[in-house]
Structure 1
Amino acid sequence: MYQYTEVDQKLVDERVAQYRDQTRRYLAGELPDEEFRALRLMNGLYIQRQAPMLRVAVPYGLMSSTQMRKLAHIARTYDKGYGHFTTRTNIQYNWPTLESVPDILAELAEVQMHAIQTSGNCIRNTTTDPYAGVIASELEDPRPWCEIIRQWSTLHPEFAYLPRKFKIAVTGGPEDRAASQVHDIGLHLVKNEQGEIGFEVLVGGGLGRTPVIGKQIRPFLEGRDLLSYLEAIIRVYNLNGRRDNKYKARIKILVNAMGIDAFREQVEAEWAEIRESDLRLPQGEIDRVKAQFAPPAYAADAANNDLNAQLAENDDFRVWYERNTVEHKVPGYRIVVVSLKPYLKAPGDITDVQMDAVADLAERFSFGEIRATHHQNLVLADVKQGDLLQVWKILNANNLARPNIGTLTDMIVCPGFDFCGLANAHTLNIAEQINEKFEQVDFLHNVGNVRLNMSGCINACAHHHVGHIGILGVDKKGEDWYQFTLGGSSEADAALGKALGKAIAADEVANTIEKILLTYIEQRKSEEESFLDLVRRVGVDPFKEAVYGADH
């Protein structure tokens, strides 16, 4: 993984010192609240419903075991013993005190971490495929390109005050595990007719009040032109994006208002002015960054001749292996997904003890690296087949081996009204209700892959618009109600879900999901027809009838 240079470290250290003084001045009454608000947001600190919330950057989801141990230490020392992983692969602490944040940032800087640009109207954390570099289907590892974007975008002076926050996702192959088509910019590594690898560029995707699937602005972009083309796009947005209404300030609104052709024309004109500037990436620089992501020293004898026997002898291990591990491009290895969706726990939460356990596992069995996923789980990317049984036992002992990856209970859920000052409705209690209803693993595996996303407000932090089943919490005269959509997807076949009907009362959410799933089981042609495929084949009417009756 990428290691800080002296310049990187100096930048982060100086930012910590700067923020420490800003906090001191604020607490002494020397800095007005409104001025401090902008400064704390630049350093990832929000004031939420219960307490301050600090969001720590995890660039493209990659952490070392040392960094994970530091995150565990911070949870123990400055919080209530846990953290929360988000859909942008960052980690949030929900209970730090205002005065302790400079100390937290100083501790993060010791392990090459920070909270810069995890908030505010700037370029946020770039995300990518959690299987980058280890999945056979990718054209190229996208992480070096994410790192190049990180270095370019961090404290970019021209883009510190954009009309609204800005998010970029990069994928390396035909699958999309980063929801790239609902980002402000989506970058897909592709191969042109000459066999050269470059980027397909999408622009104007996003969710929230106005959900939009991104539009192609350029079918092929050479890698050396990546930064200049990104700069051109964001310059056009920065100059033309609305600043009078934050609900209409995202780039998706501008692209829709101008039309993709007119927007592309302005971008291409701007790009022509800067393409040959020092933004053009020398091959030597590309190679330098790529070298930081060289494959680890894989063992030639990693295959486990006893694996089939172990799977046959232990049903629990077999079920976990089938659901929570993925084929690796190197023979003898397996990708392990660590479930952060245990029974009756908040999705995405992880305790300090669990963080230490994952750090230990990474050091012993996966070259000391951990990845966070868009789906709020963790990944050990390089586990030998011969170590899988031991890894499972340790994960199981730490409540991290629930075999539910890709199933209904592997849900994306925002913190909702319990924590977020913007939320209209609770989500965590509804997640518990769903877990209680669908505790049986056999039923979940019979249903197969179902992506459930639930947001507590229209800001859509949990991406409910693109869930196979999407749930949006709304407030009705002081009571929580929940609106359903069906048929969304954030993957390569990205689509927005269609509304099911009127909102559902809080105590009926899990029962409503049961009706939807039983309708799917009844109507599918075979077990090979997925829930999403069925919804696309028959539409939402059969589900409406099951939920609301024949007179819907």
Structure 2
Amino acid sequence: MYRYDTYDQTLVDERVAQFKDQMDRYLAGRLGEEEFRPLRLQNGLYIQRHAPMLRIAIPYGMLSAAQLRSLAAISRRYDRAYGHFTTRQNLQLNWPKLEDVPAILAELAQVEMHAIQTSGNCIRNTTTDQFAGIAQDETVDPRPWCELIRQWSTLHPEFAYLPRKFKIAVTGASADRAAIQVHDIGLRLTRGEDGRVKATVLAGGGLGRTPMVGDVVREDLDWQHLLTYLDAIVRVYNQWGRRDNKYKARIKILVKALGIEEFRRRVEEEWAHLKDGPETLTDSAVAKATEYFPEPARRAVGEDAIAAYETLRSENRAFARFVTNNVVGHKVPGYKAVTLSLKRRELAPGDVTADQMDAVADLAEEYGFGELRVTHEQNLVLSDVPVDQLENLWKALDALGMANPTVGTLADMICCPGGDFCSLANAKSIPIAQALQDRFEDLDFLYDLGPLDLNISGCMNACGHHHVGNIGILGVDKKGQEFYQVSLGGRSDDNATIGKILGPSFNAEDMPNVIDKVLQVYVEQRLEDEVFVDTYHRIGMKPFKERVYA
């Protein structure tokens, strides 16, 4: 995985020193609240409902065992001994003291981590497929390209104060596991007939108050022009994006207002000044970025070991369930990628304790070359596990409560922190997730339902991505009371769709029964091997509405 060079380390160290001085001046009363606000946001520091919140960057979701141990130690020393992994592959600390944040940033810098541009109106953390580099359906490894985008966008002076926050996602596989169609910019990397990397560029996707699926701005963009073309898109947005209304300031609003043809024309016009300029990528620049992601020294796994694994899978039902749901294929025969479930009823989805972090760091070194991935679904991944070690890993994860064999099912729900923490939330999210986990805990029932994405957000900012959940739940405020709106039919894959609202909202106590009725309709109406979202799009909203509101 990527390691800092002297430029990276110097930049981050200087940033830490700058922010310590800014914090000292703020606490001494020499910086006002409005002056300090953009400075703290540039360093990932929010003021939430009960305490500050620090969002720590995990670029394109890659994390080393040493970094995870540092996060564990920091959470013990400065927080409440746990952290929360987000849908943008970052980690949040929900209870740090304001005066401790500079010390936290200094400790992060020692393990090549930071919180730069995890908040504010700038280009945020670039995300990608959690199986990047090892997926069987991958054409282009997106990680070097994500790193090049990170270097280009970090502290870019022209893009430090955009109209609103800006998010980029990249995939290099045939199946989109990075939700590129619902990002400000989405990139699909492919190879042309000559084997050279090309990009399809989408813009104008996003969730929040006005959810939209992005439009294709350009196809077959040659790799050397990737950064200059991204620069052109962001420049157009910076010039023409609205600044009078933050709810209409995202690039999706600009694309819709102009129309994709006019937006594309303006981008091409801007690009004419940038094409073949200093930001044009070179073979040496790409080669250097690629060197940071070498193939690990995997040992050969023999046919006997593979056969023994298949035998164990056929004879041990509990192990087979874990493999079916939490283990995926690998480009190298004899290896698998394993998802560690962070969905258990005693913790909020995406939460992990400091002790678990330390234990997982040990497992990453024992079973995965010291490397971890953070997923869009708020889980963790060990990317290189030999099949003859899967049983031992499974037992170790089971002891940690991370072998829950429900990845990809209803129980593997995405959930934002909601009203328990966030000052923007209209309602609590975590209690709804826990109530649904209690109601739908039977594994046979979950498996019978098949793949199903259930996403929960506490407000219209959609940090839980409820718009693209097959079933989405949104917390709303009704005269000071917490209610929940349900949407159906959303998806974030290659057929990205925004869900449709079922109808009037419900109180918290009703939610398990509401979701149960939705599932009843699906079970009754589905065709053989038909998943929930396909049944919904085939039969429409009416049968679900009639059952729920009968």
TM-score (norm. length: structure 2): 0.98
The alignment status of 1:321 with 2:327, answered yes or no, reads no
Q: Secondary structure at the match of 2:77?
A: helix
Deviations 1:51-81 (A, max 9, x none): 0000000000001100011011111111101
Q: Tell me whether 186-195 or 45-54 shows the greater mean CA deviation.
A: 186-195
What is the 5 A alignment of 1:127-146? 127-146=127-146
The equivalent residue for 1:476 is: 478
The equivalent residue for 1:543 is: 544
Residue 305 of structure 1 and its aligned partner are, at CA, apart by 3.2
Q: Secondary structure at the match of 2:273?
A: helix
The equivalent residue for 2:531 is: 530
The alignment status of 1:357 with 2:332, answered yes or no, reads no
* CA–CA distance in structure 1, aligned partners of residues 33 and 479 of structure 2: 32
* CA–CA distance in structure 1, aligned partners of residues 125 and 352 of structure 2: 20
Residue 341 of structure 1 and its aligned partner are, at CA, apart by 0.5
Residue 194 of structure 1 and its aligned partner are, at CA, apart by 5.2
The equivalent residue for 2:437 is: 435
The alignment status of 1:150 with 2:155, answered yes or no, reads no
* CA–CA distance in structure 1, aligned partners of residues 7 and 291 of structure 2: 19
Residue 479 of structure 1 and its aligned partner are, at CA, apart by 1.6
Contact 1:333 / 1:382 at 8 angstroms: preserved in 2? yes
Q: Tell me whether 29-38 or 252-261 shows the greater mean CA deviation.
A: 29-38
Contact 1:122 / 1:159 at 8 angstroms: preserved in 2? yes
The equivalent residue for 2:300 is: 300
Among 370, 373, 377, which residue is 1:371 paired with?
A: 373
Contact 2:301 / 2:386 at 8 angstroms: preserved in 1? no
Partner amino acid, structure 2, of 1:447: L
Partner amino acid, structure 2, of 1:354: Q
Partner amino acid, structure 1, of 2:428: H
The equivalent residue for 1:4 is: 4
* CA–CA distance in structure 2, aligned partners of residues 535 and 192 of structure 1: 36
Partner amino acid, structure 2, of 1:73: A
* CA–CA distance in structure 2, aligned partners of residues 190 and 203 of structure 1: 18
Residue 513 of structure 1 and its aligned partner are, at CA, apart by 0.8
Q: Secondary structure at the match of 1:170?
A: strand
Residue 309 of structure 1 and its aligned partner are, at CA, apart by 3.1
* CA–CA distance in structure 1, aligned partners of residues 301 and 191 of structure 2: 33
Q: How many residues align?
A: 548
Partner amino acid, structure 2, of 1:70: S
Residue 388 of structure 1 and its aligned partner are, at CA, apart by 0.5
Contact 1:344 / 1:436 at 8 angstroms: preserved in 2? no
* CA–CA distance in structure 2, aligned partners of residues 29 and 504 of structure 1: 46
The equivalent residue for 1:76 is: 76
* CA–CA distance in structure 1, aligned partners of residues 490 and 191 of structure 2: 28
Q: Once superposed, which parts of structure 1, at least 4 consecutive aligned residues long, lie more than 6 Å away?
A: none
Q: Secondary structure at the match of 1:190?
A: strand
Residue 193 of structure 1 and its aligned partner are, at CA, apart by 5.4
Q: Secondary structure at the match of 1:405?
A: coil
* CA–CA distance in structure 2, aligned partners of residues 195 and 31 of structure 1: 55
The equivalent residue for 1:492 is: 494
The alignment status of 1:234 with 2:230, answered yes or no, reads no
What is the 5 A alignment of 1:316-465? 316-465=318-467
Residue 545 of structure 1 and its aligned partner are, at CA, apart by 1.3
Q: Secondary structure at the match of 2:306?
A: coil
Partner amino acid, structure 2, of 1:530: V
* CA–CA distance in structure 2, aligned partners of residues 101 and 46 of structure 1: 11
Residue 34 of structure 1 and its aligned partner are, at CA, apart by 1.2
* CA–CA distance in structure 2, aligned partners of residues 342 and 79 of structure 1: 21
Residue 498 of structure 1 and its aligned partner are, at CA, apart by 1.3
Deviations 1:363-394 (A, max 9, x none): 01101100001110000000000111111111
Q: Are the structure 2 counterparts of residues 85 and 55 from structure 1 closer, same or farther at C-alpha, using a change threshold of 3 Å?
A: same
Contact 1:488 / 1:497 at 8 angstroms: preserved in 2? yes
TM-score (norm. length: structure 1): 0.98
The equivalent residue for 2:505 is: 503
* CA–CA distance in structure 2, aligned partners of residues 80 and 272 of structure 1: 52
Partner amino acid, structure 1, of 2:532: F
Contact 1:469 / 1:488 at 8 angstroms: preserved in 2? yes
The equivalent residue for 2:517 is: 515
Q: Secondary structure at the match of 2:307?
A: coil
* CA–CA distance in structure 1, aligned partners of residues 348 and 500 of structure 2: 27
Residue 301 of structure 1 and its aligned partner are, at CA, apart by 2.2
The equivalent residue for 1:467 is: 469
The alignment status of 1:184 with 2:189, answered yes or no, reads no
* CA–CA distance in structure 2, aligned partners of residues 164 and 318 of structure 1: 46
Partner amino acid, structure 2, of 1:545: E
- CA-based RMSD of the aligned residues comes to 1.0
Partner amino acid, structure 2, of 1:265: R
* CA–CA distance in structure 1, aligned partners of residues 448 and 522 of structure 2: 11
Contact 1:344 / 1:435 at 8 angstroms: preserved in 2? no
Residue 457 of structure 1 and its aligned partner are, at CA, apart by 0.5
The equivalent residue for 1:24 is: 24
* CA–CA distance in structure 2, aligned partners of residues 312 and 503 of structure 1: 45
Partner amino acid, structure 2, of 1:383: V
Contact 2:241 / 2:254 at 8 angstroms: preserved in 1? yes
Residue 16 of structure 1 and its aligned partner are, at CA, apart by 0.5
* CA–CA distance in structure 2, aligned partners of residues 154 and 345 of structure 1: 33
Contact 2:126 / 2:146 at 8 angstroms: preserved in 1? yes
Deviations 1:232-272 (A, max 9, x none): 00001101111111001000000100111111111101111
Partner amino acid, structure 2, of 1:533: D
* CA–CA distance in structure 1, aligned partners of residues 427 and 301 of structure 2: 52
What is the 5 A alignment of 1:249-264? 249-264=249-264
Q: Secondary structure at the match of 1:274?
A: coil
Contact 1:487 / 1:496 at 8 angstroms: preserved in 2? yes
State, as a whole percentage, how many aligned pairs show the same letter: 59
* CA–CA distance in structure 2, aligned partners of residues 450 and 152 of structure 1: 37
* CA–CA distance in structure 1, aligned partners of residues 473 and 284 of structure 2: 47
Partner amino acid, structure 2, of 1:437: R
* CA–CA distance in structure 1, aligned partners of residues 29 and 277 of structure 2: 46
Partner amino acid, structure 2, of 1:416: G
Q: Secondary structure at the match of 1:424?
A: coil
Q: Secondary structure at the match of 1:305?
A: helix
* CA–CA distance in structure 2, aligned partners of residues 193 and 485 of structure 1: 42
Q: Secondary structure at the match of 2:105?
A: helix
* CA–CA distance in structure 1, aligned partners of residues 524 and 347 of structure 2: 31
Structure 2, unpaired ranges of 5+: none
Partner amino acid, structure 2, of 1:346: A
* CA–CA distance in structure 2, aligned partners of residues 476 and 378 of structure 1: 36
Contact 2:140 / 2:191 at 8 angstroms: preserved in 1? no
* CA–CA distance in structure 1, aligned partners of residues 68 and 198 of structure 2: 33
Residue 304 of structure 1 and its aligned partner are, at CA, apart by 3.4
Partner amino acid, structure 1, of 2:473: I
Contact 2:198 / 2:220 at 8 angstroms: preserved in 1? yes
Partner amino acid, structure 2, of 1:242: R
* CA–CA distance in structure 2, aligned partners of residues 507 and 327 of structure 1: 40
* CA–CA distance in structure 2, aligned partners of residues 126 and 320 of structure 1: 30
Residue 510 of structure 1 and its aligned partner are, at CA, apart by 0.9
Residue 524 of structure 1 and its aligned partner are, at CA, apart by 1.0
Contact 2:372 / 2:380 at 8 angstroms: preserved in 1? yes
Partner amino acid, structure 2, of 1:58: I
The equivalent residue for 1:67 is: 67
